[in-house]
Amino acid sequence: MTDYSANLGFLWADLPLPDAIRAAKRAGFQAVECHWPYAVDPTDVCAALEETALPMLGLNTSPGDLTAGEFGLSALPGRGAEALAEIDRSIAYATATGTRNIHVMAGKAEGAAVEATFVEVLKKGCERAQAYGLTLLIEPINNHDVPGYFLTTPDQAAMIMDQVGAPNLAMMFDCYHVARMGLDVIAELDHHLSRIGHIQFAGVPDRGRPDRGALDYAAVFAHLATRGYNAPLGAEYRPDGATEGSLSWMAPLGTD
């Protein structure tokens, strides 16, 4: 059977984070992950995680000012110090809650200076995270949902990882984003599997429940099983209505 992680940025987003963790446990998830938990006291998150015995797999660095169109800071020239301060804040929260992975959001920008900035921030961030036994993740995000985002494909992420050269830097591979870029998800998984630290999924093209849409997740998950991948897969989709009413996909897709 496949294990699943509930991404609480989308699932049970109407509940306070500790209650969303409890709801994920009741629904049968084996892990949880979140986006930006910083307004919630980590003590309350820890209490819910201990109560449910669910691990928190990951959280994101700050997106910056969403109202101004920002979606990450770490690749923005001139914002390196701010980006590192946000990585430090993420490290502190991750350490307090037992979270092992931090998604470092690149941001919207383009050009050689942007790549150099991102690489330098990641090098410094990985050094800081390694002292706490944490892994930093970078995620290709499709340019339909987030036009102008710097990091868009697994190949580009692999190139960035090679430049950084840190053992605690891995790729977050969202099948939805990869498919929306017009790429073959299974082929990309095969090519990059050794670099991948976490896998997410959602229906294509609307980011709805995964048993609907153009991407056959039964085939994707079966292929991952044949490759020996057994870490929880992150359900990061937008429910159509109440989250509980969108979960009928879990049993069929989880059947080997």
Query: Which positions are catalytic?
Result: 139, 236
Write out the E strands in the chain: 4-7, 31-33, 58-60, 101-103, 135-138, 169-174, 196-201, 233-235
With CA atoms as reference, report the closest residue to 46 among 4, 90, 95, 104: 95
Task: Tell me the CA distances in angstroms from 254 to 4, 24, 212, 224, 250, one per residue in order.
Answer: 9, 16, 15, 12, 6
Q: Are 124 and 165 in contact (CB under 8 A)?
A: no
Helix (H, G, I), strand (E, B) or coil at 40: coil
Under 8 Å between Cβ of 178 and 185: yes
Q: How far apart are CA 193 and CA 141, in angstroms?
A: 17
On whether the CB atoms of residues 130 and 168 are closer than 8 A, the answer is yes
The alpha carbons of the chain give a radius of gyration, in whole angstroms, of 17
- Give me the phi and psi of 103, to 5 degrees please: -80, 115
